[in-house]
Chains A and B, each alone.
Chain A
Amino acid sequence: MPTMSEQILSRVAGRPVRAGDVVTANVDLVMVHDSLAPGIIRILHQELGAERVWDPQRVAVVIDHVAPAASVQTAEKQQEVRRWVRTQGIPNLFDVGRGISHPVLVEEGLAQPGMLILGSDSHSTAYGCVGAFGSGMGSTDIALALATGKTWLRVPETIVVRARGTFGFGVGPKDLALRAARLLRADGATYAAIEWHGVEQLSVMERMTLATLSIEMGAKAGIISPAGLDLTGPLVPTVDADAQYQTVVEIDLGQLEPQVSAPHYVDNVADLSDLGRVAVDVVYLGTCTNGHYEDMAVAAQILAGRRLAPGVRMIVVPASAQALQRAASDGTLATLLAAGATIGTPGCGACIGRHMGVLAPGEVCLFTGNRNFRGRMGSPEAQIYLASPAVAAATALTGYLTDPRTVMDGQPVVSQ
């Protein structure tokens, strides 16, 4: 019986396909972001000789990577992208401040269960949070998909990460994802898809934490079945008890400790308690992995009525305008500001080291994002530790890497 990837890719290939098959598939949605759009537009028109995208309704363009523009150069390129969107008649342009492509496409209902979605961004595995087959590709592949509405793929084998039990106090989806990276390593799922099982209790955006980190294990897609959620789409992929899996990795949520990925590799993961005292200059809460409303709410719960440790900066960059609005309307934002945090424009922020909080040599950052590669957020001499929003907030309170369970007042961290 088929895996979720086989179910979805059979649909878009128009015939039953199995892992290992090389297929040409119809693409349901193509996402292009500001950073690579100018290059993609050039390949589309100049190299492929295509005048128009195949279906403007099925293209979404998001200005999120350097938003708002950080230089005259980036401003000019964004201007060029906006013009192009207009001449192509693409209705879905999400401009500065709307947020990061991945949560935005989900919030807008464009990303749906059972779709094949390609993005010009490697974290396009994110769309697995609604049960879509989302995959990142380079500029040439994206340009080809824009020209033809098709792509070619090798149907991946599937690795299952099966969660058992429920999260303990102070532990959440990020710890599960980092634990999986620790077990599978950075290349453990290369050419494969990951199916996350046993995570029905998570919200869609919490599922995005798992789906975005799937690429950090090399995966082509990271899918969670949307069965039970109120989502409609061309196909609702379901977990098939008899599907053929390459490997199954079991993780007991009840036993899970807060996990931290130490510099400079995402799979360099340890239990927080094994890392000793690590002093931190900046706490950065944001990105498509952990900049969601749920993540700000967890941090606010820990920071409520308290102040950041002296000398620590805390930068919060909401993943989307909707997340920011929700945090503003229920007091979450006020709590974060009262604690001494500051807020950036919804978008990618400093995740790729281009603006809004880049790091100086020697600085140590506790980051809720998905990559801690050397130089990712600025100076190659900076150190980036990846952890959950709960660890981020606890660390902001003390100034060094801190287990959230030691500073919380007993309420469970996982949101509803």
Chain B
Amino acid sequence: MARVWLFGPDINTDQIVPGRYAPYMLKDESELRRYPFIEHRPDFAPNVRPGDIIVAGKNFGCGSSREYAPLALRMVGVGAIIAPLFARIFFRNALNLGIPCFTADLTSELADGDEVELDLEQGRITTSDGRVIHLPPPPLFLREVWAAGGIVPFYRQYGRFPGEVA
């Protein structure tokens, strides 16, 4: 089971990892795992488990280009992020790092702390009381990158960029 972590709209990258906690300022990059939402939601990092899901309002990840924001989420094993609209750079970064992002508004269907089952292949969430929520299938070029595990493995495997005809 995965736990749902519910967030509001317009969560910016400074809320995910403040610039003051950038790897640039750290001795060791693995320290980053302590910092997701360190000020915005201090209970997140110590309690999040691999596979947990972030469900947020619109414009998730707005702000800076810092890839260490989604990287910190990957380090703690976030299984998917679901929001009605993602900020562009965050979406690309998450895609590049292989974190599945689904564009859907589930903020009124799921509550913080809900235990759910996420089926990435089928794009389906099953709640503990048996409700099934279907996630909209992402476009092909995104699925290609996920399947490869991120943009670096994708590029190494195919020698081209997503969306381009082979």
A and B found bound together: yes
| Residues of A that sit less than 8 Å from B by CB | 22-24, 34-36, 38-39, 43, 47-49, 65-66, 71, 73-74, 77, 119-122, 124, 136-141, 144, 148, 150-152, 154, 186-187, 190-191, 218, 220, 265, 352-354, 371, 373-376, 378, 380
Please classify how large the interface on chain B is, using the bins under 10, 10 to 19, 20 to 34, 35 or more: 35 or more
Q: Which of A43, A65, A77, A122 contacts B152 (CB 8 A)?
A: A43
Known contacts A73-B25, A138-B93, A353-B20, A374 near B14 by CB under 8 Å: yes
Q: Which residues of B contact A65 (CB under 8 A)?
A: 24
A218 near B66 (CB under 8 angstroms)? no
Contacting A at CB under 8 A, from B42-84, are 58-59, 62-68, 70
B14 near A376 (CB under 8 angstroms)? yes
Q: Which residues of B contact A74 (CB under 8 A)?
A: 24-25
- Between A and B, 21 residue pairs with Cβ closer than 8 Å are A22-B164, A24-B160, A34-B24, A36-B67, A38-B23, A39-B68, A47-B152, A49-B156, A120-B65, A136-B64, A137-B65, A138-B66, A138-B67, A148-B155, A154-B163, A187-B87, A218-B87, A354-B20, A354-B25, A373-B63, A380-B39
B62 near A138 (CB under 8 angstroms)? no
A353 near B19 (CB under 8 angstroms)? yes
A190 near B87 (CB under 8 angstroms)? yes
- Shortest beta-carbon distance from A391 to chain B in Å: 23
How many Å lie between the Cα of A190 and that of B85 in the bound state?
A: 8
Q: Which residues of A contact B163 (CB under 8 A)?
A: 22-24, 152, 154
Known contacts A152-B164, A190-B59, A373-B63, A138 near B23 by CB under 8 Å: no
Known contacts A74-B25, A138-B89, A218-B59, A144 near B155 by CB under 8 Å: yes
- Shortest beta-carbon distance from B42 to chain A in Å: 11
Q: Which of A36, A66, A187, A191 contacts B62 (CB 8 A)?
A: A187
How many Å lie between the Cα of A26 and that of B44 in the bound state?
A: 41
B151 near A144 (CB under 8 angstroms)? yes
Known contacts A152-B164, A354-B25, A186 near B59 by CB under 8 Å: yes
Q: Which of A48, A140, A144, A354 contacts B19 (CB 8 A)?
A: A354
- Shortest beta-carbon distance from B134 to chain A in Å: 23
Q: Which of B22, B59, B93, B141 contacts A35 (CB 8 A)?
A: B22
- Shortest beta-carbon distance from A76 to chain B in Å: 10
Known: A74-B25, A122-B89, A376-B18. 7 other contacts (CB 8 A): A39-B68, A138-B96, A187-B85, A354-B19, A354-B22, A374-B15, A380-B18
Known contacts A24-B161, A265-B10, A39 near B67 by CB under 8 Å: yes
B14 near A140 (CB under 8 angstroms)? no
Contacting A at CB under 8 A, from B1-37, are 10, 12, 14-15, 18-20, 22-27, 29
How many Å lie between the Cα of A191 and that of B89 in the bound state?
A: 9
Q: Which residues of A contact B92 (CB under 8 A)?
A: 137-138, 141
Q: Which residue of B lies closest to A37 (CB)?
A: B24
Is B97 interfacial (CB-CB < 8 Å)? yes
Q: Which residue of B lies closest to A147 (CB)?
A: B155
- Shortest beta-carbon distance from A220 to chain B in Å: 6
Q: Which of A24, A66, A121 contacts B164 (CB 8 A)?
A: A24
Q: Which residue of A lies closest to B12 (CB)?
A: A373
A190 near B89 (CB under 8 angstroms)? no
Q: Which of B14, B24, B89 contacts A66 (CB 8 A)?
A: B24
Q: Which of B68, B85, B141 contacts A22 (CB 8 A)?
A: B141
Q: Which residue of A lies closest to B155 (CB)?
A: A144
How many Å lie between the Cα of A376 and that of B18 in the bound state?
A: 7
- Shortest beta-carbon distance from B39 to chain A in Å: 5
Q: Which residue of A lies closest to B23 (CB)?
A: A39
